[in-house]
Chain A
Amino acid sequence: MNESSHRVLVLMAHPSLYRSKINKAMRDAIKDTPGITLHELYQAYPDFYINVRHEQSLLLEHDFLVFQYPFYWYSVPPILKLWQDVVLENGFAYGEGGDALQGKDFMPAISTGGKAEAFSREGNNYFTMNELLYPMQAVARRCNMTYRPPRVIHGSFEQTDVTIQMHAERYRELLLEYTRQGAGIFEPKD
């Protein structure tokens, strides 16, 4: 397989990683892995001034875009929203001539505070994860990227170090597998 066509870009947005467990473990798991570019937005742009051209060229160099973030208030952290607003320009990501992201894969990797049951009609979040991630699906669709099933770890507060470690390992495995086989890993196996 041609390695250069299965490059992974992880845009991680966690405003205070030093207090984080899950995202920190996930970050540490994929850090310095060949084929995976880890890009920590809050580190790169502590004052929120995003270098748009740099971000766009990063996108062009990768095939699999991952948004890794804590699911605060059902949404992306502000810098990741800002990133979408300024980087996914008309003529670049969508609109006329905006085919830079065409054919790439896209996946959210999310940690939530609530348990899995909470994201249902009976739970206190009422809406399902699938419903709450419609905006992410919409972004992928509009930019002609293929939306891949999100990696979600629920109930952050209940997770133990061991379960967190396992989640991080599986996350790393998935991304590594992509660098080896590309989008094929998402195809149903016979």
Chain B
Amino acid sequence: MENHSLLVDSVIYLGAAVLAVPLAKRLGLGSVLGYLLAGVAIGPWGLKLVTDAQAILHFAEFGVVLLLFLIGLELNPKRLWSMRKPILGLGGSQVLLTMLLITVAGMAVGISWQTALVAGMGLSLSSTAIALQTMTEKNLLSTTAGNSGFSILLLQDIAVIPMLAVIPVLGVATVSSPTDESGWLDVVIVLMVMVAIIVVGRFLTRPLFRLIAGANSREIFTAFSLLLVIGIALIMQRIDMSMALGSFMAGVLLAESEYRHQLESDIEPFKGLLLGLFFIAVGMSVDFGLLLSKPWVIIGLTVGLIALKAGVLWLLARVFKIPVGQQAFFAFVLSQGGEFAFVLFGAATGFSAMPSELADLLIVVVAFSMLTTPLLLIVNERFIQPRFVNADKIPEDTIEPQGNPVVIAGFGRFGQIVGRLLHANKIGTTIIDHNPNQIERLRTFGFKVFYGDASRLDLLQAAGLQHAKLFVLATDDRDSGLLTVDLVREHFPNVRILARAWDLIHVYQLKDHGVQIIERETFDSALRLGESALVQLGYEKHRAHRAAQRFRAYDSELIDKLYQVHHDQSQVISISQQARDEIERLLQEDETVISRDNDSQGW
């Protein structure tokens, strides 16, 4: 029964998302608004298909956890450390200033300072999910505004911890305030857990990942990735810390590991779905009843909240010198209330630090403010941004461009030689390989190595193929290699492909798929051995060399010729039959070739 309803619910969510998101995107509204609207549509105020929005919201919060894990993966500790100034300065000012203003405003309308402070704390936070998802979707995370916005969100996630800690103290009916001692104990536990996560993340996960990658099972790798993230999140929750913060830490610790991109592409779909679910749940939880009964209060508060938050952000944007053209985006993208407000207000009513009517009201306001963000950004894009088109162009670089001119897929016995030659000539080379044992060693020699399957687009992107000039295909699977060729040709048309072929049939296949530079892996070495044979039979070395070279030239001509023949019958006969026919044809041709020696004259 339970299962059944779960499946039915899944169908509803997935169906709503599948319908609403493409529609919203088509209308230029972005996926976040699509999810939100889908939520409204299936929720208690729409078609009433699902009613328990809170339970879903709780579950779907996990999407935020995964999102932060992925963000963490993009930031290695060094980069994070270099961001300490915007995080503390910009983030700190945003939270404190917004909190202060809201608290003052609340007290001005006659709310007790404790309650006003709780409201200020809750409302000062923005929605990590909405803001980050929007910035990622618009590829703006690497701009100044994106970076600054991210710094603020990060600080907010950290700020939740003291906020949650202080709420019981603000409660009127504090039953049992924690003694100082247990407070200290908590701090010690928190610190110990943090250290444990850092130690485990730093030193234990790598060998563990290598072990699991060695099992060569894609789904086990995915399972382990999820296990890692969920495990850390649960531990953090256990010690009353933000799950999102914990998974972010884990992400940062794994940012330098060679499995980063595999992790990214494994977690990504889960994150996307859960975040979507989260947005749907937010849409569902918007209490339109309250809106109908007190429309002006809610609209007024929502507008007021957004105006206040955006105002503070705009001010900070000017103080912290965010480029003029990005200031409006920066102010809008963080102008909404955040999901942590739900948590904080929930806790506050529990401790009687906030009357539940007010909490309900504010939760509706926060949910509403979330709805407005995508709309505000559309306004920004359509009407405000065009004025700044020339003021500053948004840089196109990704978070961490991999600028190597050559990407080698497959670093086995063949790819290695290519890689060594390039390495010896100081040409930057990025390597994709699915053998975990290789990776560790190569990294020590300064190669950029990515673990994974080269026939996956996301991995090719992660490896920076868009910045590369050449793609060397030396993987050891024929079919997936051809698949990779198609992918590269379709998505990176400017990248030239150089492919290793096993035999003539493979050469033909690669040619069929549009590859122009192909080398048979055994041809040149066999030719050299043949050359040595000639020398051993008494040929002068240079003569033998010329004979081999002449043969090589003749052979490549012949291949072009036979390729045409092959093309006409390849549909008809099997590969092994083709191979047999091919050698027959080759030998016949070789015989008829006049061993013309155009060496120089005698004297």
Contact = CB atoms under 8 A, between A and B. Distances in A.
A156 interface: yes
Assign chain A's interface to a size class. Answer: 20 to 34
Contacts of B599: 15-16, 19
B202 interface: no
Interface string B530-550: 000000000111111100000
B110 interface: no
Nearest to B544: A46
A113 B540 contact: no
A36 interface: no
Contacts of A23: 603
Interface string B580-603: 000000000000000000011111
Contact of B543 (A18, A44, A113, A156): A18
Interface in A109-134: 111-113
Contacts of B602: 16, 19-21, 156
In this complex, the member of B542, B544, B600 whose beta carbon has the largest number of chain A beta carbons within 10 angstroms is: B542
Contacts of B603: 20-23, 70, 111-113, 156-157
A169 B312 CA distance: 102
A171 B17 CA distance: 94
A17 B540 contact: yes
Contacts of B541: 42-44, 46
A96 to B, nearest CB: 28
Interface in A140-177: 156-157
A156 B602 CA distance: 9
A47 interface: yes
A16 B540 CA distance: 8
A167 to B, nearest CB: 12
A21 B599 CA distance: 15
Nearest to B549: A47
A113 B602 CA distance: 9
Interface in A12-31: 15-23
Contacts of A42: 540-542
Contacts of B540: 16-18, 42-43, 46
Contacts of A72: 600-601
Interface string B203-232: 000000000000000000000000000000
A8 to B, nearest CB: 23
Interface string A36-64: 00000011111100000000000000000
Nearest to A42: B542
A28 to B, nearest CB: 14
Contacts of B601: 19, 70, 72, 113
Given A16-B540, A17-B540, A18-B540, A46 B545 contact: yes
A30 to B, nearest CB: 17
A17 B544 CA distance: 12
Contacts of B542: 15-16, 42-43, 45-46
A125 to B, nearest CB: 15
A18 B602 CA distance: 8
Nearest to A77: B600
Contacts of B539: 18
Contacts of B600: 15-16, 70, 72, 77
A45 B546 CA distance: 12
Nearest to A44: B541
Interface in B522-581: 539-545
A16 B545 contact: no
A65 B319 CA distance: 78
Nearest to B528: A47
A17 B601 CA distance: 9
A72 B543 CA distance: 18
B150 to A, nearest CB: 54
Contacts of A19: 599, 601-602
Interface string A60-104: 000000000010100001000000000000000000000000000
A70 B132 CA distance: 77
Interface in B469-490: none
Contacts of A22: 603
Contacts of A112: 603
27 contacts: A15-B542, A15-B599, A16-B600, A16-B602, A18-B540, A18-B543, A19-B599, A19-B601, A19-B602, A20-B602, A20-B603, A21-B602, A21-B603, A23-B603, A42-B540, A42-B542, A43-B541, A43-B542, A44-B541, A46-B544, A70-B600, A70-B601, A72-B600, A77-B600, A112-B603, A113-B603, A156-B603
Interface of A: 15-23, 42-47, 70, 72, 77, 111-113, 156-157
Given A15-B599, A22-B603, A42-B541, 6 more contacts: A15-B600, A17-B540, A19-B599, A20-B602, A21-B602, A45-B542
